[in-house]
Structure formats: structure tokens, C-alpha cells
Amino acid sequence: MNKVKELAKMIDHSILHPTMTDEDLRRECEVAKKYDVASVCVKPYAVKQAVELLKGSDVLVGCVIGFPAGNSAIPVKVFEAENACKDGAVEIDMVINIGKALQGDWAYITGEIKSVSDACHKLGAIVKVIFETDYVTKEADIVKLCQICTEVGADYVKTSSGFGFVKQANGDYNYVGATISVLELMKKSVGPKVKVKAAGGVRTLDQLIAVQAAGCTRSGATATAVMMEEAMKRFSPL
């Protein structure tokens, strides 16, 4: 596989902003097809449309669950995941219950991740578990979440939703998303069958290459076109 293709197949092209319309979905699925990325990551109602729009391509359809704040009850997350799979999603990105993680209720978190993972695996989909590392910041908690994901058979651990906004001292809200140090920590804390996905803040080709070097095999992105155009300039033969 050449370097351009290798980088394209790292990208989960995110089509998740709350304001996005069906027309935006159509446009962004065309971007995903043009660069032949790994997948699109869409909102639950958009799965059927995305499957139709990407028919005949190698781009997979993924869906977010309990997104972005992770607050749904476990049976609701399971139902939402099953519904997405039945609509054609083959990858599921679920947000954990962040409050339960912060209070160290690991039995709840284990049950939640296992319930969604088992349901998705029965329907032939893989599961990526979003920790929201702008909120879950303690190394020990991140390591514990990696251990749980390994134990229950989740397929990926993932840093962020891209919407984990933290209130700053001046009253503004922003987020950091994936950092190299957290990605490296996650990579060394999961078992050999669990992969790592960066999400949040990967907007340039150099950042994509950096998260790959940190051990990621996938990265969420909205700046797909910018990164892939740069990759084609940098790595394609003359």
C-alpha cells in the first residue's frame, strides 16, 4: 500500500456537527469517496442515507452512540447501537458514561461497554469506545478504561468525541482532543487485539502522521480534503 492510501485508510471522516443537513451529508460522503478513506462517522438517523450514498465504494459506514455526552442508559445505548447496525453501520463509536468513570464506578462502565460490544459483535459491527479525555484526565483512569475495553473485547479505544468542551478561566469553552502523550498511554495500556483511534484536533497531515507514529490505526477528521491533498503532494511520485 502506498503512503497516500495508507493515510487515507486511517481516516474516519466525521459528519457529526449538530447543524449538518442532508445536503451536507451528501457533500461529505462525496469527499469520503473521493479520497477513499476508511469510513464515514455519522449520526444515527443518517446511517441509511450514508449507506446508500456510499454504495459501490470501499468506504465503510460508522455511527456514534450516546453522542456526544454519553448520558443515555445502558439499554438505550444498546438499542441505539443495534438500530444503527440494522440500518447498515459496521462500526460503532460509543461514548462512555463519563460521570461514572470519574467516580470510579468501574462495574457500571464494564457492564456498559460489554453490553454495547456484545450487541454490536452479534450484528457484525466493531466497537470504538470514546473516553472523552478532556474530562477523564487522570492517567490511572485512562489505564483502567483501557484494561476494561481489553477485558470485554472492545475493538478500539478512542480519545474524544470532538465535543468535549471544557469551560476556560475567561468563560470560553474549547477542547484539546487527542494528544500524543495520551495516545501513547492508551496504546501501551490496551491488549494486543485492541486498537487506538485519535479524535479531536487532528487537522493537518503532520498531525495525522504524528498520531500514526503514536500507535493509532484510525483518526477522526473533518479536514480530510486538506490532509489528503497535502499527502498527495508530499508522497505521490512525480
Active site residue 33: no
Active site residue 5: no
Q: Which residues of 91-112 are buried (b: 16+ CB within 10 A; e: fewer)?
A: bbbbbbbbebbeeeeeebbbeb
Active site residue 197: yes
93, 134, 141, 155: the active-site residue: 93
User: Grid coordinates in use for 149?
Assistant: 475495553
77, 144, 158, 195: the active-site residue: 158
77, 144, 195, 197: the active-site residue: 197
Q: Which residues are catalytic?
A: 93, 158, 197
